[in-house]
Structure 1
Amino acid sequence: MRSFTNFQTDLLRTFVSVIDLGAFTKAGDALGRTQPAVSLQVKRLEELVGAPIIRQVGRTLLLTSEGEMLLSYAREILRLNDEAASYFNRSKIAGVIRVGLPNDYAVAFLQGVITEYTRRNPEISLELHCGWSAEILDRLRADELDLAVAMVNNERAQYLSRSWIERPIWAAAETATFDRKKGIPLAAHPEGCAYRARMIQALDAAQIRWRVAYTGSGIGGLQNAVVNGLGASALTRYTMLPGMRVLDEMDGFPSLAEIRVGLFYKHPRLSDASIRLVNHIIARLDEAGVSNDPIRRAGELDRQ
């Protein structure tokens, strides 16, 4: 008969709390345990894994490759466990949820997903904060946000739960034509935007002249600039509007490099309402076919 290793949720919760809060003492404060008790629980988890999962360099806690993999499993297990506990305890879904969304991402789809959740739970007050990805993640670290969607860079991404790939597409007004000798007019977010960088990199690599004809931080203004023929821009399928058409290599526009987007949160800081929102977002991403398997993501991060 096959034997199974049982990863107890209290051990996984301690592990995730240590990583998300960045210290054994802070994790103990959040969980109501002493620092030695937290250390013993992490040690017990390492015995179950059969390898170290955390190593300390100075005051910094770093994950081993086994720890990276276990963290992805642990987040998923706790996410589902806590939603089930909330449901069967008949927890009241109420309170304020603070969500960060990036200016440089197609927020229309996710805004719809989030507002759908709040319509189903009218006692929830939603606060949406838009900004650049780096700014949003800084606010999450400072506990000014409960969860965030942001661009994922090539480094190991703290607080990352799920990630997915977006392939930006070139968009222009249906009637727009471009004279490459004069340079391609671009409608773009300000410098620092991943989509702006992808456009410039692609055009420079193809040795195509360009100029920025419109700059604005809001997605609505960018969409209007494209529809009104001010320039071409990099969008996603979620933010294409009537009056726009997709440009491709047949139109002389080189393909754009993909962008990795992630869902971030500190599990120890999430309320029941926030846990259910996280699960709602992940379910909608899975339905849309854009949410990557988190375990595969962990392996990808480990190889970077």
Structure 2
Amino acid sequence: MRNIVNFQTDLLRTFVSVIDLGAFTKAGELLGRTQPAISLQIRRLEELVGAPVIKQVGRSLMLTGEGEMLLSYAREILRLNDEAASYFNRAKISGVLRVGLPNDYAVAFLQGVITEYTRQHSEISLEIYCGWSAEILDRLRADELDLAIAMVNSERAQYLSRSWIERPIWAAAESARFDPSSSVPLAAHPEGCAYRARMIQALDVAQMRWRVAYTGPGIAGLQNAVVNGLGVSALTRYTMLPGMRALDEADGFPPLAEIRVGLFYKHPRLSDAGIRLVNHIIARLDEAGVSGDPVRSHAELDRQ
């Protein structure tokens, strides 16, 4: 018979709290335990894992390789555990949820997913902040947001719960025709946008000339610029509109590098309403076929 190891949720909750809050003391204050009790729970967890999961580097706490893998599992286990507890305890789903969404991503799709949830729970007040991914994550770290969607460069970013890959699409007006041998007019967000960077990188590698014909921070303005033929842009399948067509190598445009997008939150800071919203978002992403498996992706990364 298999030797089954049971990871108690209280140990996993302590582990995630220490990592998300960045200190044993802060985790103890939140969980109502002393620092020695928190340290003891981490040691018990390490005994179950069979290896250290946290190491001290200067004044900072860092995850070991085993700790990084465990964190992915722990977030998923706690997310499902807390949703089940909320359901069977008939917890009242109410309060204010502060959500951060990036300017340069499929805001319309994600806003629709989030507002669908709030329509189902009329006692929840929703506050959406749109900004650049770096700004959004800064606000999450400062506890000014409850959860965030943001672009990431790594599968191991802080507070990352789930990530998935999007490959941008070259988009142009249906009636627009562009000669790749001449300067390509671009419709783009301001500098710092991941989509803008990928357009320029792809054109530079292909040794194609380009110029920025439109710059604006909002997705609606960018879409209008494309539909009206001001330039081509990099969009996602969610932000393509009627009146647009996708361009590819047959049109003379090189492929665009993929982008990793992530769902971020601090589990210890999240309310019952927030946990259910996270589950709602993940379910809709799964249905849309874009949600990745964080545990599997970390394992694949370790093998590289």
Q: TM-score, normalised by structure 2?
A: 0.98
Partner of 2:245: 245
Partner of 2:257: 257
Partner of 1:57: 57
Give me the whole-angstrom Cα distance separating, in 1, the residues matched to 2:158 and 2:303. Answer: 16
User: Do residues 161 (structure 1) and 174 (structure 2) align?
Assistant: no
Deviations 1:248-270 (A, max 9, x none): 00000000000000000000000
Deviations 1:144-174 (A, max 9, x none): 0000000011373000000000000000000
> Given residue 87 of structure 1, which amino acid in structure 2 is its aligned partner?
Y
Coordinate RMSD, CA, aligned:
1.1
Give me the whole-angstrom Cα distance separating, in 2, the residues matched to 1:248 and 1:180. Answer: 12
User: Do residues 290 (structure 1) and 290 (structure 2) align?
Assistant: yes
User: Do residues 235 (structure 1) and 241 (structure 2) align?
Assistant: no
Give me the whole-angstrom Cα distance separating, in 2, the residues matched to 1:284 and 1:275. Answer: 14
> Given residue 91 of structure 1, which amino acid in structure 2 is its aligned partner?
A
* TM-aligned CA deviation for residue 22 of structure 1: 0.3
User: Do residues 86 (structure 1) and 86 (structure 2) align?
Assistant: yes
The within-5 A match list for 1:1-304 is: 1-154=1-154, 156-300=156-300, 302=302
Could you tell me the percent identity over the aligned residues? Answer: 86
Give me the whole-angstrom Cα distance separating, in 2, the residues matched to 1:231 and 1:106. Answer: 19
* TM-aligned CA deviation for residue 298 of structure 1: 2.4
Give me the whole-angstrom Cα distance separating, in 1, the residues matched to 2:91 and 2:47. Answer: 35
Give me the whole-angstrom Cα distance separating, in 1, the residues matched to 2:218 and 2:286. Answer: 27
Structure 1 residue runs of 5 or longer lacking an equivalent are none
> Given residue 289 of structure 1, which amino acid in structure 2 is its aligned partner?
G
For residue 197 of structure 2, give the secondary structure of its aligned residue in structure 1: helix
Give me the whole-angstrom Cα distance separating, in 1, the residues matched to 2:296 and 2:109. Answer: 24
For residue 199 of structure 1, give the secondary structure of its aligned residue in structure 2: helix
Give me the whole-angstrom Cα distance separating, in 1, the residues matched to 2:263 and 2:299. Answer: 17
Contact 1:68 1:302 in 2 (8 A): no
For residue 33 of structure 1, give the secondary structure of its aligned residue in structure 2: coil
Give me the whole-angstrom Cα distance separating, in 1, the residues matched to 2:299 and 2:108. Answer: 30
| Equivalences, count | 304
Structure 2 residue runs of 5 or longer lacking an equivalent are none
* TM-aligned CA deviation for residue 179 of structure 1: 3.0
Deviations 1:74-98 (A, max 9, x none): 0000000000000001000100000
> Given residue 235 of structure 1, which amino acid in structure 2 is its aligned partner?
L
* TM-aligned CA deviation for residue 109 of structure 1: 1.0
Give me the whole-angstrom Cα distance separating, in 2, the residues matched to 1:69 and 1:155. Answer: 11
For residue 19 of structure 2, give the secondary structure of its aligned residue in structure 1: helix
For residue 238 of structure 1, give the secondary structure of its aligned residue in structure 2: coil
For residue 238 of structure 2, give the secondary structure of its aligned residue in structure 1: helix
For residue 223 of structure 1, give the secondary structure of its aligned residue in structure 2: helix
Give me the whole-angstrom Cα distance separating, in 1, the residues matched to 2:134 and 2:300. Answer: 21
> Given residue 4 of structure 2, which amino acid in structure 1 is its aligned partner?
F
Q: TM-score, normalised by structure 1?
A: 0.98
Contact 1:156 1:301 in 2 (8 A): no
Contact 1:163 1:297 in 2 (8 A): no
> In 2 relative to 1, CA 238–71 (structure 1 residues): closer, same or farther, beyond 3 Å?
same
> In 2 relative to 1, CA 300–97 (structure 1 residues): closer, same or farther, beyond 3 Å?
farther
Give me the whole-angstrom Cα distance separating, in 1, the residues matched to 2:110 and 2:155. Answer: 24
* TM-aligned CA deviation for residue 106 of structure 1: 1.3
Give me the whole-angstrom Cα distance separating, in 2, the residues matched to 1:301 and 1:269. Answer: 29
Give me the whole-angstrom Cα distance separating, in 1, the residues matched to 2:302 and 2:140. Answer: 23
For residue 237 of structure 1, give the secondary structure of its aligned residue in structure 2: coil
Give me the whole-angstrom Cα distance separating, in 2, the residues matched to 1:121 and 1:266. Answer: 22
Contact 2:155 2:163 in 1 (8 A): no
